[in-house]
Amino acid sequence: MRLLVLPGDGIGPEIVASAVEVLQAADRRFGLDIQLDYEEVGFISLRKHGTTLRRQVLEKARAYDGLILGTQSHADYPAPEAGGRNISAAFRVELDLYANVRPARTRPYLPSNLKPGKSMDLVIMREATEGFYPDRNMSRGCGELMPSPDMALSVRKITRRCSERIARRAFELAMTRRRKVTAIHKANSFHMTDGLFLECVRQVAREFPHVQLDDLLVDACTAHLVRNPERFDVLVAENFYGDILSDLASELSGSLGLAGSVMAGDQLCCAQAQHGSAPDIENQDKANPTSMILSVAMLLEWLGGHRDAAAWRAAAAAMHAAAETVLANPATRTADIGGCIGTKAFGEAVTAALLA
- Residues serving a catalytic function are 133, 186, 219, 243, 247
Alpha-carbon 261 to chain mean position: 3
Q: Angle at Cα 99 formed by Cα 195 and Cα 271, nearest 5°?
A: 155
**Environment class of 184 (CB within 10 Å of its CB; exposed 0-12, middle 13-18, buried 19+):** buried
Q: Rounded to an integer, what distance in angstroms lies between the CA atom of residue 197 and that of residue 164?
A: 8
Buried b (16+ CB within 10 A) or exposed e, 331-341: ebbbebbebeb
Question: What is the CB neighbour count within 10 angstroms for residue 94?
Answer: 16
The answer for residues whose C-beta is within 8 angstroms of residue 194's C-beta and 6 or more apart is 158, 185, 186, 187, 238
Task: Give the SS3 label for residue 145.
Answer: strand
CA nearest to 189, candidates 156, 143, 222: 156
The three-class DSSP label of residue 217 is: strand
CA distance 26 to 31: 8
- For residues 62 and 266, give the distance between their C-alpha atoms in angstroms, rounded to a whole number: 12
